[in-house]
Amino acid sequence: MAQQYRFEIECDDLTQQRLHEVLPSLLVSESDARFIERRNLDGDTATWVVIATLASQALPHLLAFLTDWRKEKRKENTVTRIKIGQIEIENPTPEDLEILRERLRSGRIK
């Protein structure tokens, strides 16, 4: 059985809507994604925290989606934080996502 990872991401509303479409096919069969809306004290724009359990072979597909999505939107802060296993990155760049993909391929993410 493939290794499973807890995946957590903070993102904007539009990104979480797209993740609703993408995640179901990537989820480990025993897992559901949780989409938790979080607002500032003043009720300002929502930030979404998306939590899912994914098999190791699904994560590169998700990271590729996030890289392409960021390029498509051309907006710097659509994803403000990503966490896979013990690794957490604030404001990930496409280069950061590529490093994560490489670490997944080499088995260096715990």
Give tens-digit pLDDT for 48-100: 899 999 888 888 889 888 888 877 766 555 888 999 888 899 988 888 988 88
* Secondary-structure class of domain 4-106 per CATH: alpha beta
Mean pLDDT along residues 27-39:
86
| pLDDT number for residue 90 | 92
Determine contact, residues 79/94, Cβ cutoff 8 Å.
no
- State percent of the chain over pLDDT 70: 89
Q: What token pair was written down for 78?
A: 């659509």
Distance (Å, whole) CA 14 – CA 17: 5
| pLDDT number for residue 35 | 92
Quote the pTM value: 0.78
- Structural domain spans, the chain: 4-106
| pLDDT number for residue 38 | 84
Q: Categorize the per-residue pLDDT at 104 as very low, low, confident or very high, splitting at 50, 70 and 90.
A: confident
Determine contact, residues 22/67, Cβ cutoff 8 Å.
no
User: According to the 3-state scheme, what is the secondary structure of the chain?
Assistant: CCCEEEEEEEECHHHHHHHHHHHHHCECCCCCCEEEEECCCCCCCCEEEEEEEEECCCHHHHHHHHHHHHHHHCCCCCEEEEEECCEEEECCCHHHHHHHHHHHHHCCCC
| pLDDT number for residue 77 | 58
| pLDDT number for residue 74 | 60
